[in-house]
């Protein structure tokens, strides 16, 4: 049977103190949506207009979180290559909040953020680095910046918020969803023993995933706090760059371009491409134990409001390049693409 590519991270069991980046200097929460929720709740205390402008390509968890925090939301258009043009959004901006997204960890929003900050000093800017954990140390003029640890690293939960001096609330109680994630991960790691089927750990993952939406105002689990120091961030980054290089070279040979340009020093979470018959290609990959995600499904109600989101929902395919996989794994993905596109 072919090695499985895709799915949730299996949690680490390292005991070496490798990572010197301390979580104590930042605001920490259980998830990216918990982080965004607490940013918005804080902003309500400042008397700001409770309206947020979101890009028209975004996960539904973002606008659902905004709604849960009591914010109205509307959408501004992004460019075809996922970048943001400040000229396109100036007409709709007044007071309130605007969210920029670093898609896949490869989009530089700093120029647009600087221009908005210059033209609209009353606008509060939030930078969503959920897919860009490696960019959290970069300088930004955004008022708030947040990422999700569990999206990028083998951890069950955790999110970081950096601010321009704002004082956010912190919590001691940990999230319930992480308990399911931890249990599922350990079962997944030992599934080859044959004592149980994949359905058992998948059910636990799904239960945890359902809880994330409402499991807010929580701290990261003790597991995440303890294991964070054992994450070999530098090594993971090097492996992702290596895999990215293999995929980009292979896509060039196939005549396929990523949705947006990827710089040599980027550390992507995925390589996004568009495929005309995307769902057919995915089914072929599933049959070969390759499970590539899509970003993001859009329901019928939101399609008219999110033209770019709707297009990518139908055509985007995210090629996995994280540290779990080898060059051979990358070539396996490319071979399936070669045979089906």
Structural domain includes residue 226: no
Q: Averaged over 35-63, what is the pLDDT?
A: 97
* Same domain as 206, residue 103: no
* Same domain as 36, residue 159: yes
Per-residue pLDDT, 92: 72
Per-residue pLDDT, 195: 66
Number of domains in the chain: 3
Sequence-distant (6+) residues with CB within 8 A of 185 are 8, 9, 10, 11, 154, 156, 201
Per-residue pLDDT, 191: 67
Cα distance between residue 280 and residue 275, in whole Å: 10
Rg (CA), the chain: 20
* Cα Dmax for the chain: 62
* Same domain as 150, residue 125: yes
* Same domain as 88, residue 41: yes
* Same domain as 245, residue 208: no
Cα distance between residue 341 and residue 338, in whole Å: 6
* Closest by Cα among 146, 131, 106, 148 to 241: 106
Q: What is the pTM of this model?
A: 0.95
The length of the chain, given as a count of residues: 341
Summary mean pLDDT of the chain: 92
Structural domain includes residue 182: yes
* Same domain as 322, residue 239: yes
Structural domain includes residue 21: no
Written as six digits, the tokens of 176 are 């319930």
Give pLDDT tens digits for 208-220.
888 898 899 999 9
Preceding amide of 296 cis, omega within 30: yes
Domain that holds residue 288: 232-340
Give pLDDT tens digits for 133-188.
999 999 999 999 999 999 999 999 999 999 999 999 999 999 999 999 888 887 87
* Closest by Cα among 110, 203, 104 to 147: 104
Q: Which residues of 248-277 are buried (b: 16+ CB within 10 A; e: fewer)?
A: bebbeeeebebbbebeeebbbbbbbbbbee
Structural domain includes residue 9: no
Written as six digits, the tokens of 47 are 């008397």
């Amino acid at each position: 049977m072919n090695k499985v590519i895709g799915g949730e991270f299996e949690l680490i069991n390292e005991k070496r103190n490798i990572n010197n980046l301390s979580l104590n200097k930042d605001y920490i929460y259980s998830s990216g949506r918990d982080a965004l929720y607490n940013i918005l709740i804080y902003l309500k205390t400042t008397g700001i207009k409770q309206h947020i402008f979101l890009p028209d390509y975004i996960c539904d968890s973002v606008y659902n979180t905004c709604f849960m925090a009591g914010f109205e939301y509307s959408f501004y258009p992004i460019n075809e290559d996922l970048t943001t043009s400040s000229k396109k959004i100036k007409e709709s901006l007044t007071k309130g909040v605007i969210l920029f997204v670093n898609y896949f960890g490869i989009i530089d929003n700093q120029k647009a953020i600087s221009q908005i900050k210059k033209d609209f000093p009353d606008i509060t800017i939030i930078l969503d680095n959920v897919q860009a954990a490696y960019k959290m140390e970069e300088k930004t003029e955004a008022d708030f910046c947040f990422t999700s640890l569990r999206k990028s690293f083998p951890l069950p939960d955790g999110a970081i918020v950096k601010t321009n001096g704002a004082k956010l609330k912190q919590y001691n109680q940990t999230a319930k969803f992480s308990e399911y994630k931890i249990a599922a991960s350990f079962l997944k790691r030992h599934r080859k023993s044959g004592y149980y089927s994949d359905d058992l750990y998948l059910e636990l993952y799904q239960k945890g995933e359902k809880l994330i939406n409402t499991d807010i105002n929580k701290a990261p689990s003790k597991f995440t706090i303890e294991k964070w120091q054992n994450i070999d961030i530098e090594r993971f980054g090097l492996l992702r760059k290596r895999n990215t290089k293999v995929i980009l070279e292979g896509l060039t040979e196939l005549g396929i371009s990523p949705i947006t340009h990827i710089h040599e020093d980027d550390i992507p979470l995925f390589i996004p491409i568009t495929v005309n018959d995307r769902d057919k290609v995915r089914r072929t990959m599933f049959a070969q134990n390759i499970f590539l995600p899509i970003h993001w499904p859009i329901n019928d109600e939101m399609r008219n409001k999110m033209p770019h989101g709707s297009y990518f929902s139908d055509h985007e395919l995210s090629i996995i390049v994280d540290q779990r996989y080898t060059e051979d794994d990358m070539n396996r993905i490319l071979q399936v693409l070669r045979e089906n596109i």
